Amino acid sequence: MYIGKVQVPADWSSLESLIKAQVDGQSSFAFTSGKTYSLQTEEGTLRTCDASSTPSLDVDGEYIVEKQQGIYEPDAGTLYVRSNTKNGVCLVSVSELG
C-alpha cells in the first residue's frame, strides 16, 4: 500500500514526522511494529539511521542511492533520514509491504 512521497532535508529528521507533515491524509501516520516498509529513492541519495535519538554524526547510518530500494522493519528505535545529495534534494516514496 502506497503511503506517499516526501522531500528529505539535509539535516537528520524522523521519517515518520516528514510523512505526517508532507503527505495529505497522513497527519496521524505511525510506523507499525511487525510490518515491513519499502523506501524508494526517486531523486538523490538518502541516508538512514534507526536509532533511539537523533544521530549526531554525518557518518551514522546507511545509504540508499537514487532508484534503489531499502526495506524498513520498525523496532524500538526511530528511523531518521537525511539527504546526502549535493543540491540537498532527495525524494523518497514510502509503501507498506505487509
pLDDT tens over the chain, length 98 residues? 999 999 999 999 999 999 999 999 999 999 999 999 999 999 899 999 999 999 987 767 899 998 999 999 998 889 999 998 877 779 999 999 96
Cα angle 78, 18, 28; round to 5:
85
Q: What is the pLDDT of residue 98?
A: 67
**What domains can be seen in the chain, in order of their start residue?**
2-96 (2.60.120)
Q: What is the pLDDT of residue 61?
A: 84
Q: What is the pLDDT of residue 22?
A: 97
Q: What is the pLDDT of residue 42?
A: 92
CA distance 55 to 98: 28
